[in-house]
Chains A and B, each alone.
Chain A
C-alpha cells in the first residue's frame, strides 16, 4: 500500500510539475509577448529589389511605391482570431530632405507604436500628443543637432520635435517619426501605408494560422510571421505542453500498472482474510467495495501527495531549468485534476483486483496459512 501511494505520488508529481511549468511558461510568454513587439509583418507584394527596415523587408526599392491603404489596415481587425491581436501598427515610410540632408520619415500611430515598442524610451522631452508632434531617433537628433522643442520642416509642413528617443542600435535611431496622417500629407500619399506591424498574442493558436487569415483578407499583401525569440519560445512552450501531456499519459499508464500489480498482490496476500469475510456472509459486492474504497483512499492520498510534490518541484525547478520569471501558479483546477485523475486511475486499475477479491472462495478461510 505504501508502494502504491508512493508510486501514484511520483506519477502525479511528474505530471503536475510538467503541467505547472508549462503553465508558468505560457504565462511568461504572454507577458514577454508585449515586450517583444510585432510578430506578424504585412507588406505590399512587390517584385522589385527589396529594401529592408530593421532587418524587415519594407517593400520595393522605391519608397514611393505603397500599395497598402488605410481600409486594408482596418481589414486586419476583421479576421477570425481578431481577439488575439493586441496591436496593429501601420507605417508609411518615405525619404525626405531635412535640413538639406535625405532622411527617412516614418508616419506612425504613436499610441500603437509605443505599445508595440516597449523598449522605446523617450530620453529627452516627452511623448508626442499633438498631430504635428514628432519624435527623433537618437543619431538623427545628434547629427542634425535637434533638441526637444525644435521645429522642423518637411516638404513644406512643420513638425515640432517633442522628444528624442534613446539610442537602441536599430534603424529607429536614424528616423524621424511623425503622425501617420501628417506623413501621408507630407509625402502626398493620402491613405497610403508602406507596412503594418501586428502583435498577435496567441499562445494557444499557431501564428501561421493568423498569418493565413490576414493573407486571406489582404490578398495584395505579403504577410510573414516573424521568427522572433518569443515566437520560437511560444512554439517551444507549445511543444513542451504536448510533451507534458504525452509524458503524463505514460506516467499515468505506469501508475495504473503499479496500482494494478500492488492491488493484485494485496488481494493475493489477503486471500484468507477475504475468504473469512465471505464465510461471514459478506457479499461479493461488499468485498469488491472494500477493495475499491481502499484503492480510492490510497489513490486520493497519492494524488494529493503527488500534487504537493509536483508543485514543490515546479516552484523550485521552473526558474532554473525553464528560465521562467513568471510565478508558478497554484492552480486549483490542476490540484483537482491531479487528485481526481489519481482517484479515477486508482479505482479503474483496481476494478480487476476487486473482481478477483470478490471471487475468492469462502472455503479458503478453512485452509491453514
Chain B
C-alpha cells in the first residue's frame, strides 16, 4: 500500500546542501510492521516524514493507496495526513496544558464528526491503549510509558491505516519502552500497518521486517520471520497472544 519510487531528499536550509536520502525504493504492504534502522543522521526520520505526507522529496514519487501524495495541493496533503497517517513523535509532542483525553481529541478537531461521537471514540481508544480511568490526567500526571500510550492513542484515534512512529522508545527507559513496543505490536497483530524508526536492535526485534538505512540508502531488508508471518491477523488487543518481540525472557512483566 506504500510505494516509494526513486525517492531522494536534499536539504537546502542554509549552508551546504545535505543529502538525506538517495534513490530510495521501498514497498510496504498493508498489515506490515516495519522497523527502519540505522545510525543517527542516516535519514530515517526523513524517510518516515516523506511516507507520512509531510516532507516533500526532492525527487521521486510516493504512492499510498494509489495516491501520488506529493502531486496533491498542500491542503489536500493535509487531508491525506488526516485520513491516512497517525504519527507518534519521538518527543511525543503532547500539549502539557491538555488532558490525555483532550490531547487525543486534538487529532479529531478538524473532523466533521459530532462532538459526542469524537469523545466516545477518544475514550474507547484510551481504554484500548490501557489508560482507562486516566483520561482526565495531564501529561505531567502520567508516567513516561503512559504518555507514550497517549501519543499512540492520538495517532490511532482518526483510524488512519498507517501508524508511523519515530523512535517511540527513544525517551523511555527500557521497561516502559517495551510497553509501548508491545502496544505497537498488538496493534499490528490486529491488522494495523506500522512503520517505526529505531536504532535499538531490541526494539527492531518487535517488528516483522527490518529495513536498514545508511547514509540515505537502503542497505538491508530482512524478510519477515515465518512464525511471525503466521501470526493470526486479528486478536483482542489487550490480551496479546504473541510473545513480545521474539524473546520471551526479555518480556517486562
Q: Which residues of A contact B (CB under 8 A)?
A: 272-273, 276-286, 361-363, 365-369
Contact = CB atoms under 8 A, between A and B. Distances in A.
B79 interface: yes
Contacts of B49: 362-363, 366
Nearest to A275: B93
A282 B48 CA distance: 19
Nearest to B164: A279
Given A281-B81, A283-B78, A283-B110, A369 B91 contact: yes
Contacts of A284: 74-75, 78
Contacts of B109: 280, 282
Interface stretch (B82-90, B116-124, B219-227, B231-239): B82-90
B93 A272 contact: yes
Interface residues on B, range: 20 to 34
Contact residues of A: prevailing secondary structure? helix
Contact residues of B: prevailing secondary structure? mixed
A280 B82 contact: yes
20 contacts: A276-B93, A278-B81, A280-B81, A280-B110, A281-B78, A281-B79, A281-B81, A281-B110, A282-B110, A283-B75, A283-B79, A284-B78, A286-B110, A362-B55, A362-B81, A363-B54, A365-B87, A365-B93, A366-B89, A366-B90
A278 B82 CA distance: 9
A365 B87 CA distance: 10
Nearest to A358: B74
B95 interface: yes
A282 B93 contact: no
A368 B109 CA distance: 24
B107 A280 contact: yes
Contact of A279 (B52, B74, B95, B110): B52
A280 B107 CA distance: 6
Given A280-B81, A286-B110, A365-B89, 17 more contacts: A273-B95, A277-B106, A279-B52, A279-B54, A280-B107, A280-B110, A281-B78, A281-B82, A281-B85, A281-B110, A282-B78, A283-B75, A362-B49, A363-B55, A366-B49, A366-B91, A368-B91
Given A281-B78, A284-B78, A366 B110 contact: no
B32 interface: no
Given A286-B110, A362-B54, A281 B83 contact: yes
A363 B87 CA distance: 11
A356 to B, nearest CB: 15
B181 to A, nearest CB: 20
